Amino acid sequence: MITGNIFRAIGDFFTNIGFLPFNWLRNDVSSWWLQNTVSWILTIICMIAMVYWMGQLKKFKKDGTE
């Protein structure tokens, strides 16, 4: 009972509050460029994290540590 209420509260939060900016972008903005800005930002963050991670792996491999 309590677990069900917790998951229902989480679902209500994201449905009614958490996704409001995305609903606004989807419904009220007619520019394709502006709608995809969030995806581009997340893609750039992931690319930077991947480059950093590969650099760290190279550094540890060069040092011979695990």
Report the helix count and the strand count for the chain, using DSSP H and E.
4, 0
Determine the pLDDT at residue 21.
85
Is the pLDDT reported for residue 48 higher than 80?
yes
From CA 36, how far away is CA 43, in angstroms rounded? 11
CA 36 to CA 64: how far, in whole Å? 42
Q: Could you tell me how far CA 12 lies from the centroid of its own chain? A: 19
pLDDT tens, residue by residue, 17-44: 998 888 888 888 888 888 888 889 999 9
- Residue that has been written with the tokens 């893609």 in this structure: 43
